[in-house]
């Protein structure tokens, strides 16, 4: 059809004035585009749809470099022809996060046509690159235009503000990782350093520098709120006075870190010892001190990182106790503007969570007690079901056989451990008070010991079960006890697999949770070697 009428190759085929080349480029059909280009003139490639987009804009937006290369060979002006909303194809590629396309178009757009790029174009390209994670391009742009360090986007935020909101851009999640990232910095960290160093060089006056990073909101508080430990540590390390800053409600970065449960940032209190004694005494506009911040319920995003209401309660108590260690005695019982002490505020904030935790614990105890009871019943019966006399066929004394000893020991172990498990879970249902401190101490230990004894009883029961088959069938059908022993591994494996998440949460909440408040290395002023 196109061969019959060459005009169809460049004709609009939709109400939006899109040509065949627009459609093919958007659909990523390279070979079709290649054939169309043979039929089109250089001018045909500049045709625009009703929004002003050329087919080259479509290719840039979808990120197909091969199509862009083919079109560019036909018409060198395409990278500078603006599309919808006045954006160049380079801007469209950066906006869509097409990093390979953006890197390809950058020299063709900027370096070859620099006179057509104004300050607004630089700003848009810079912030598009940061927002979509093309940090190498953003770094290159910043190095060529240092004034972008103080440039602002439509939200009046600088590049540092945008990066502070992107903790996922950094590989670091704690002190040890930060030290490693210093040796091999990510592109995002390199960009942060370049922005910060450029900012310090551009603004000679301290007041001006602080104004740049504090409007519309303070960069360090954004980083503290979202848990961007790497950005915060980088800024405070090179400019320690930032640690003294407070937000509009008179809260320091440590207060923000506690409110949002970011342990890595809270641990900086151990390194900034010169201000630690002052920061812990800061009170916000409602006279809440640092312990009041720990008493407030964690944000859902942080609370849900721990599964199960009981473990969430344990985690909250751990935070409260850790922060309490740093507080002067007079501040532990100090009341806020509502007349509440930190402990009273903790109780008020965690009432619903405490109820859910109690319900979760009781439900878990009931389920585990039923299983333990079934095991105890079965192994008790099995103890009197295996013959204790001689084997009539071979006249071998079964009682003295090794296999019978294994059966007796495993059966007794299963009975004892399941009985202990029953008593532990029964105490959780009947005796436990389910007060706040119980989750931090007794209930946590009871759950650990109850699950351990239940697991031991299941393993012992399976060993006793396999031993019973060996005693019964070892002198007749030898493959039967072997086959049954292999099958007995299935419930043990299944139980381990299904309860491993629960078990890991219990152990973490009981023992390893406290390690997040014990950083092994200093990170602000770490010197390699």
For 181-214, the pLDDT digits (tens) are 555 678 999 999 999 888 888 755 555 666 677 7
* Share above pLDDT 70 across residues of the chain, in percent, rounded to a whole number: 84
Answer yes or no: is 479 within a domain.
yes
Give the three-state DSSP class for 510: helix
Give the three-state DSSP class for 443: helix
Quote the pLDDT of residue 353. 95
Give yes or no for residue 5 having a pLDDT over 60.
no
pLDDT tens, position by position, 92-107: 999 999 999 999 999 9
Q: Which one is predicted more confidently, 279 or 417? A: 417
**Cα gap 169→188, rounded to integer Å:** 6
Answer yes or no: is 63 within a domain.
yes
Give yes or no for residue 180 having a pLDDT over 60.
no
Cα Rg, the chain, nearest whole Å = 34
Angle at 185 between CA 180 and CA 186, to 5 degrees: 120
Which residue, of 87, 113, 139, is where some domain finishes? Answer: 113
**Cα gap 526→178, rounded to integer Å:** 10
* Among 243, 246, 127, 135, CA closest to 193: 135
Q: Which one is predicted more confidently, 108 or 206? A: 108
| Cβ atoms 516, 263 nearer than 8 A | yes
pLDDT band at 527 (very low <50, low <70, confident <90, very high): very low
Find how far residue 130's CA is from the centre of its chain: 20
Q: What is the CATH number of the domain that holds 93?
A: 1.25.40.20
Answer yes or no: is 90 within a domain.
yes
- Report the chain's terminal Cα–Cα distance, integer Å: 73
Answer yes or no: is 203 within a domain.
no
Which residue, of 94, 113, 132, is where some domain finishes? Answer: 113
Identify the domain containing residue 103 by its residue range.
1-113
Answer yes or no: is 319 within a domain.
no
Most confidently modeled of 41-45, 123-127, 270-274, 313-317?
A: 123-127
Sequence-distant (≥ 6) Cβ neighbours of residue 333 within 8 angstroms:
341, 342, 343
Give yes or no for residue 216 having a pLDDT over 70.
no
Give yes or no for residue 398 having a pLDDT over 70.
no
**How many other C-beta atoms are found inside a 10 Å radius of the C-beta of residue 114?**
9
Structural domains of the chain, count: 2
* Share above pLDDT 90 across residues of the chain, in percent, rounded to a whole number: 47
Tokens 């060993």, residue?
A: 463
pLDDT tens, position by position, 340-383: 999 999 999 999 999 999 999 999 999 999 999 999 999 998 88
**Cα gap 485→252, rounded to integer Å:** 62
Answer yes or no: is 439 within a domain.
yes
Q: Which one is predicted more confidently, 510 or 361? A: 361
Name the token pair of 52.
Answer: 């002003």
Answer yes or no: is 141 within a domain.
no
Answer yes or no: is 377 within a domain.
yes
**How many other C-beta atoms are found inside a 10 Å radius of the C-beta of residue 71?**
26
Average pLDDT, the chain: 84
Quote the pLDDT of residue 195. 92
| Cβ atoms 375, 461 nearer than 8 A | yes
Angle at 156 between CA 152 and CA 159, to 5 degrees: 45
Q: What are the DSSP E strand ranges found in 23-89?
A: none
Which residue, of 66, 96, 113, is where some domain finishes? Answer: 113
**How many other C-beta atoms are found inside a 10 Å radius of the C-beta of residue 14?**
11
């Amino acid at each position: 059809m196109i061969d019959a009428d060459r005009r169809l190759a460049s004709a609009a085929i939709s109400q939006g004035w899109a040509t065949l080349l627009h459609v093919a480029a958007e659909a990523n059909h390279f070979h079709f585009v290649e054939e169309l280009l043979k039929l089109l003139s250089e001018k045909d490639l500049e045709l625009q749809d009703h929004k002003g987009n050329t087919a080259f804009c479509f290719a840039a937006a979808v990120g197909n470099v091969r199509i862009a290369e083919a079109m560019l060979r036909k018409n060198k002006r395409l990278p500078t022809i603006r599309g919808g909303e006045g954006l160049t194809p380079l801007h469209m590629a950066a906006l869509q996060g097409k990093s390979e396309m953006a890197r390809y178009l950058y020299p063709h757009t900027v370096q070859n046509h620099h006179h057509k790029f104004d300050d607004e174009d630089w700003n848009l390209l810079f912030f598009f690159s940061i927002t979509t994670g093309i940090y190498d391009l953003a770094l290159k742009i910043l190095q060529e235009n240092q004034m972008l360090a103080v440039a602002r986007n439509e939200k009046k935020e600088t590049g540092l503000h945008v990066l502070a909101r992107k903790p996922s851009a950094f590989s670091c999640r704690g002190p040890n990782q930060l030290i490693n990232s210093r040796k091999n910095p990510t592109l995002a960290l390199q960009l942060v350093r370049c922005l910060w160093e450029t900012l310090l060089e551009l603004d000679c006056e301290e007041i001006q520098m602080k104004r740049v990073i504090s409007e519309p909101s303070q960069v360090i508080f954004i980083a503290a709120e979202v848990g961007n430990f790497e950005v915060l540590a980088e800024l405070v390390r090179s400019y320690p006075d930032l640690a003294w800053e407070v937000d509009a409600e008179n809260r320091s970065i440590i207060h923000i870190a506690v409110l949002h449960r970011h342990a890595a940032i809270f641990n900086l209190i151990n390194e900034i010892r010169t201000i630690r004694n002052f920061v812990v005494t800061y009170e916000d506009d409602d006279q809440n001190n640092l312990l009041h911040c720990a008493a407030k319920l964690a944000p859902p995003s942080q609370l849900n990182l721990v599964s199960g209401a009981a473990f969430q309660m344990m985690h909250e108590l751990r935070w409260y106790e850790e922060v309490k260690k740093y507080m002067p005695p007079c501040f532990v019982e100090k009341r806020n503007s509502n007349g509440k002490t930190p402990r009273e505020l903790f109780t008020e904030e965690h009432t619903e969570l405490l109820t859910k935790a109690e319900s979760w614990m009781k439900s878990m105890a009931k389920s585990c007690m039923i299983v333990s009871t079934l095991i105890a019943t079965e192994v008790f019966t099995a103890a009197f079901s295996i013959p204790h006399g001689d084997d009539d066929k071979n006249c071998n004394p079964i009682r003295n056989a090794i296999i019978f000893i294994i059966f007796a020991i495993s059966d007794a172990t299963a009975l004892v451990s399941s009985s202990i498990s029953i008593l532990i879970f029964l105490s959780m249902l009947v005796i436990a008070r389910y007060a706040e401190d119980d989750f931090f101490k007794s209930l946590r230990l009871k759950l650990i010991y109850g699950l351990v004894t239940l697991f031991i009883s299941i393993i012992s029961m399976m060993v006793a079960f396999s031993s019973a088959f060996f005693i019964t069938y070892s002198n007749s059908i030898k493959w039967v006890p072997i086959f049954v022993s292999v099958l007995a591994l299935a419930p043990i494996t299944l139980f381990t697999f299904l309860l491993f998440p629960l078990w890991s949460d219990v152990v973490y909440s009981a023992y390893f949770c406290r390690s997040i408040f014990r950083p092994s290395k200093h990170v602000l002023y770490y010197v390699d070697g």
